[in-house]
Amino acid sequence: MCGESATHLDGEARGLHAFRGSGRIRLLAILMVTLNLRGAITCVGPLLKDIQAHFHLTGTAAGLLTSLPLFAFGFLSPYAAPVARRLGMEQAVFVSMSLLIAGMGLRYLDGAGWLYLGTALIGCGVAFNNVLLPGLLRRDFPAQLTIVTAMFTMVLVTCGGLGSGIAIPLADWAGWRFSLVSWAIPAVLALALWTPQLRAHSAPATVERRAPMWNQLLAWQVSLFMACQSTAFYVMIAWFPSMMNDLEGVSAARSGVILFIYQIAVLGSVMVTPVFIHRMRDQRAIGVALSGMILLGYVGLYLDPVHALGWMIVMGIGAGGSLVYAITLFSLRVETTMQSVALSGMAQAVGYTTAAVTPIFIGFIHDLTHRWTLALQLMIALAVLQLAMGYLCGRPRTISDPAAAATASGATGPQR
């Protein structure tokens, strides 16, 4: 039993330094993989009209193409932890990157079937790495967890914006197919940089007693927080231009500028929020403050849409910080790396499934009522729920690990 525990906990004790020696190379490899988690997905939106015209896709079929990755995030995230336990963390990341590259290759082939199959494989690869990378950060850099999580989130958000930002210029230069496949270049580079990490791989985890994450109240609080903050972001990305056009007659171009400023606010908050998280043992205040900014933004759009730019800046600050807060909770609220992966998988399953379904439901509500009142009221209610969850999961407590408790044999007293 002691030998099994040592194997299980060896990753917990490795403690690399993020900015020295092998730790610096390790962090660079993780961030290079992170660079590929959004661009291959966000580049599709700006190219959608060209793709529709080429493959003669209906609006529904085109909508499915853009929703496939989100559904993959939701449905596949819970399976990342079992895959990592079976293969080892490094091998699982390698397989996920290979799926991503294969998907981009298939998406380049002519034929709608290849387009959808390639997009599905991209979604699979990204879904697993969404879950695995925060767990690796927790295991390898426990002393610099907050700062490396912030770096991870900053790369994630920046490359998501970059994917949509450079899609049209690349398409104008070499065609929409090249624009889609161009993200294979950083993906291949990331795989090449990751391959040496397999030499220092973690062994597959031994079978151990564990409390199912889905039965843990704290895990549900973290998951619901993730769901609310993800939904708030994706609803704005999907519906803000239409909403502003109907409410105030704002042009699509003007709405695009406001959304761009919103995402700058998101990025700024991603950079600043970790400073506050790092200094607080109890994160309830920051969870409530960030959620409150999203709530204020939605209430402002509901009552005073003419000042949408100001409300969107406020909401962007709350959204960026909430994303960092949620990802950091995957590590702060657990005791082991595999728990972190399991919590991340659960939270992202709940979060991205909700974020995929809610914009569709918002569209249904608008089609039914021809107004945005009920839709905005729904988003205000979700923001209130996020605020409550931000308070509850901000308390300094963790999900106990039954294997660790059994090893301790009561010597350490009650688990937190």
What is the per-residue pLDDT for 200?
Answer: 66
CATH placement of domain 8-200: 1.20.1250.20
The Cα–Cα gap between 41 and 119 comes to 8
- Same CATH topology for 8-200 and 213-398: the answer is yes
Q: What is the mean pLDDT of residues 75-81?
A: 86
User: Residue 36: CB partners within 8 Å, gap ≥ 6?
Assistant: 97, 100, 126, 159, 183, 186, 187, 190
Per-residue pLDDT, 405:
45
Residue-level pLDDT at 378: 94
Per-residue pLDDT at 62 exceeds 50: yes
pLDDT tens digits for 201-245?
665 555 444 557 888 999 999 999 999 999 998 888 778 877 888
Among left, alpha and beta (phi > 0; psi -120 to 50; other), residue 201 is beta
Q: What is the mean pLDDT of the chain?
A: 83
Cα 141 versus chain centre, distance: 20
Does domain 213-398 fall under CATH 3.40.50.300? My reply is no
**CA dist list (Å): 237 to 306, 312, 385:** 18, 11, 20
Detail the DSSP E strand segments found in 105-218: none
pLDDT tens column, 394-404: 898 888 755 54
Contact 333, 65 (CB under 8 A): no
pLDDT attached to residue 201: 60
Start-to-end C-alpha separation, the chain: 22
- Provide mean pLDDT across the span 14-34: 82
**What φ, ψ does residue 240 adopt, rounded to 5°?**
-55, -45
- Cβ-contact 349, 74 below 8 angstroms: yes
Which tops the pLDDT comparison, 159 or 314?
A: 314
Average pLDDT over residues 191-210: 70
Confidence of residue 64 (pLDDT cuts 50, 70, 90): confident
**Residue-range domain boundaries for the chain:** 8-200, 213-398
